Structure 1
Amino acid sequence: MQRRADGTTLAQLAILVPITLLSLAVVLAIAQSVFGLAFGWGITLAWLAAGLLVMHRPTERLLAARLFKLRKPTPQEFDYLAPIWKEIARRAEIDATNYELWIEKSDDINAFASAGHIVAVSERALRTLPPGQLAGVLAHELGHHMGGHSWAAVLTVWYSLPARLVYHLARLVIAALGYVVARTRSCFLGVILLSVLTVAAVYAIVFLPVIVGPYLLAWLGRRSELRADRKAAELGFAPTLIAVLRDYDQDEDQETTGGLLATHPSPAKRIQRLEAAMRPAAV
C-alpha cells in the first residue's frame, strides 16, 4: 500500500485552486504596494513556495511543536507505541519509519495525522486505551496519510489564509457601510444605498469560492474520515475502532451540532460504515 491522493484529496485540491488564486492576488497586491513590482513578485513567489514546506521534515517538526503543541514521546512511551505501529505498518506493507510518532498534550481521547509524516496520539488516549483500540485509532490516522488527506488539509489552511482574511475584512467594511446608510437621512441616501448594494454584489461574486468553500471542504472532510475508517477496516482494525467510537458520547453528534460545517461524521454513522465493511461480500 503506497501513499497517494484519493478522490477526496483531489476534490479538495480542485476547490482550493480558485481560493489560492484569490490569495495570490491579495498577496501580490499587498507586496507590490509595499515593496514595489520586483520585490512584490519575489515575495509572492516565496509565499507560494512556502506551502511546499509541508513535506519538509524539519519544518514539519517545528510546526508540530509550536503550532500543534505536540511533543516527542518519552522512551517509555515510544517503547509502548513502536510495536503497535510496526504491526500496523506491516499489515499496510509500508516502512514504519516513514512516519514519526508524536504525543499531543491533551486530556482528550484524540489522535490525528499532521502534514506529511507525523502521527500524533493524545496523552489520555495513550494512557487509557488498550493496545488493540490504540492500534485501531492509529490505523485510522495512517489511512489519512495514505489518502493524502493530511498534507492537503495543511495546504488548504496556508493557501486560503490571505483570501479568508480579506474576505472577513470586506465583511466588516460592508457592515460599516450598511450602518452609515441606516443612519443617513440626506438626499444622497439612494446613491449610498446603491453603492452598498454594488459593493456587496461584487464582494459576493469575487469571494464566492471563499464563501462556498468551507461547506464543500467540510463535506469532503467527512468523506475523508469515512475513507480513513475504511482503510483501517481493510487492515483488520474495524472491531477495535468500533469499540473506541462506541465509548464516545453519542449525544455529541457532530452532524447535528456542527451542521453543514461539521468536519467529522457522527460516531453512529462511522460505526455503521465499519460494520458494513466487516460483512463478507455477497457472492
Structure 2
Amino acid sequence: MLARSHNLGAALLLAPLLLLLAVAYGIPFLGVMRWSFTLPEPGLAQYLTVFTDPLVQSVFVRTARICALVTVTAVAAAYAIAYVWVRGTPGQRLIAEYCILVPFWISVLTRAFGWVALLSNRGLINSWLQSLGILGEPLALVRNEFGVVVGMTHFLIPFAVFPIASAMRAVDERVLLAARGLGASRTRTFWSVFVPLTMSGIIGAALIVFVFALGFFVTPAILGGGRSVMVAELVYLRIFQSPDWGLGAAISVTLVLIVGLLTAALFRFLRFSQMAG
C-alpha cells in the first residue's frame, strides 16, 4: 500500500513535466510527421528519397563519420579530465572543475565564433605559425570537417565528464591496492584494472556524446562554412531555402527515430550497469 501511494505521488509530480513535453515537443513532432507523409503529395515518396538519394545518403554518412570522430576525441579528453577531477590533488581538482564548468557559462554561438577567430586563415594559430616562419601558407583549419570536429568536441567534453567521473568514484580503492600488491605496475593497474572498472561510464559518455552530436546545427554551420553539411543543417536547407518541406520533415523524423533508438540503448545499458553493481 505504501509503495502504491509512493508511485502515485511520483506520477503526480511527473505529470506537469510530461504534459509540457507533450505540448512542446509531441504535438509539433506529429505535425512534422504529417508533412513527411503528405507533402508535396501523400505517400512514402519522401522516405524513399531519404534512403535512396545519393546527396541525402552522403550527408548521413558524413554526419555519422563526424559524430564518431567527435565521440572518440571528446570521451578521451573527458576521461583525462575526469581522472584528474576524481583522483588529483586539491589544486588539480579545482583546475579540472573550472575546465568542466566554465564552458557551460559560454553560449554555443560564442564558442563557435571563438574557434573561427583561432582557426581561420588569418586567425591566431595561422598568424602565429606564419610569424615564426613555420608555415608559408595558412593551414585550412575551418570550413572543413576538421573545424567542425574541433568545435563540437570542445562543446561536448563537459557532458562526457560526468558519467565517467561517476564511474571512477564507484571504483573500490582496495581493488587497485590489491593489483599493486600483486606486483602490477601503475600503468598495468590503470589499463588492466581501472579502465575496465570504469567502462560503464565510458560507454554511457560515448552514447550521450554521439546522440548530442547527431543534432548539432550551429557549430557545423559556422565552422563548416557550408562545405561539411550535417543532417540538422540539411533539414534547415530543405525547409527554409529549397523549400522542400516534405523531404525535410522525412529527414527530421528519420533522425528522431535514430536518436530515440540510441537513447533507448543508453537507458537499457544504464539499467544493466546498475544491476551489475
Shorter-chain TM-score tier: under 0.3
- Relative to the length of structure 1, the TM-score reads 0.27
- Relative to the length of structure 2, the TM-score reads 0.27
Greater percentage in strand: 1
Greater percentage in helix: 2
